[in-house]
């Protein structure tokens, strides 16, 4: 009897937690459905952190290239899995316009990152 009661309490607690999280899940799903890819700034906001913290975390996890001319570009396995895509954008510099690669996070990648980062607290002090 006691075990059945404890299981019922556990189930009710889990159902309450689902109800609490439901609006967040629905908002995240709606966000994902609006676009095919996101800038790092948009992705970071959706993940509840800042762009620079996200870059630091993904470099530390070995997902992004750490230095050199391809700094902050995703490594090939993550491109192959369609978690990221790149495009070239033109930026204005004091010495003239320059075309540089920009990493975008796909909707699939954003959901994957959410799962990867959920158990790992992103250090907001970084």
Q: How many CB atoms lie within 10 A of CB 68?
A: 7
Q: Are 57 and 65 in contact (CB under 8 A)?
A: no
Contacts of 63 (CB under 8 A, 6+ apart): 74, 75, 78
Distance CA 123, CA 103 (A): 22
Tokens for 106, please give them: 């796909």
Predicted TM-score of the model (pTM): 0.64
List per-residue pLDDT tens for the chain, 126 residues long. 888 888 888 888 888 887 887 777 666 665 555 567 889 999 999 888 999 999 999 999 999 998 887 788 999 999 999 999 888 888 888 888 888 888 999 988 998 999 888 754 445 554
Tell whether the torsion through CA atoms of 18, 118, 109 and 33 is positive or negative. positive
Q: Measured between alpha carbons, how far apart are the two ends of the chain, in Å? A: 50
Domain locations in the chain as residue ranges: 1-34, 36-126
């Amino acid at each position: 009897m006691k075990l059945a009661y404890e299981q019922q309490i556990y189930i009710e607690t889990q159902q309450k937690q689902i109800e609490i999280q439901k609006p967040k899940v629905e908002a995240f799903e709606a966000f994902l459905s609006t676009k095919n890819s996101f800038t790092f700034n948009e992705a970071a906001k959706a993940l509840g952190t800042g762009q620079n913290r996200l870059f630091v975390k993904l470099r530390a996890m070995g997902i992004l290239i750490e230095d050199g001319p391809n700094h902050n570009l995703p490594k090939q396995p993550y491109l192959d899995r369609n978690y990221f895509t790149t495009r070239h954008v033109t930026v204005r510099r004091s010495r003239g316009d320059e075309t540089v690669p920009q990493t975008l996070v796909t909707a699939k990648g954003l959901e994957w990152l959410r799962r990867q980062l959920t158990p790992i607290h992103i250090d907001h002090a970084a």
